[in-house]
Amino acid sequence: MLTNFSKVLAVATAFISIAVLGVVFVVFAGGPNWRGEAALLKDYEFTRQEGQTPTWSSKTRRPRSQGGAAPAVQTVAQNSVALGDAVVKTREDLKKVQQEEIAQLDRAIPPLQATIAEAKDFNQKDLEAMKKREKALIDERTAQDAEIDRLSKEAIAKGQEAQAIGAEIERRRNDAFRLQNELDNLRTDRFRLTEQQKQLESLLVRMRGNRARLESRVAQLQAQGAVDSGDNAAADPKAEDAKPEAEKPKDDAAEKTDEKSE
């Protein structure tokens, strides 16, 4: 009987020990992860001081100004027995800093709101002015486009007029060349007629000399009595025959001059 009770008691003790061990394990494993929490606080640095009783301390990573003093690294938690205590103090400091920043931002909000309202008023005025300016620029561009079209049409008209003038100049140049050629031909004909006139005048002079010699000969013969009135009558036809022959080339030259003038 006692042996059986001892066995039952031993089994119960073993179960109770196992249960207590499980509870301890659950409490240890399921508690806060203070190292992870400390890693999340990136603006703070945690340090463990070894010794008979290890302690934890934390300080800011960046210098911080406080009370108008020069910026310096500040110690937030010092000689904390547990890491959790240091993390809690550090979070309280972070909360305090954030509340101060929030208060500072709250104080800056009213001036910013006034500035925003003023900026909105200015923006509204600027928007109206920009719309007016846009309309003015559109009207100006429309006028410029119309002016460009007008100038383009004028340029085309001027180009056509220049082409017409060029064609007229070319035609007149051709006329000038043609008239110059005609003038050269007329000068050539005039020179040729002048030469012919000189030849005819020379021939006329010779014929007149011949006539004068003949008349002189007739007068000599009459003075000598070698010829009578009948001979004079016979001599006169010879003189009359010589006269038409002398005047005939001159008449031909006159006819050529008249034909050239026509």
Chain-wide mean pLDDT for the chain?
80
pLDDT tens string 36-80: 888 888 888 888 888 788 888 888 888 877 666 677 777 887 778
Integer-rounded Cα Rg, in Å, for the chain is 72
Contact status, residue 213 vs residue 220, Cβ threshold 8 Å: no
Q: What is the pTM of this model?
A: 0.38
d(CA 100, CA 91): 14
pLDDT tens string 196-227: 999 999 999 999 999 999 999 999 999 888 54
Specify which residues 125 forms β-bridges with. none
Tokens of 91: 């979070």
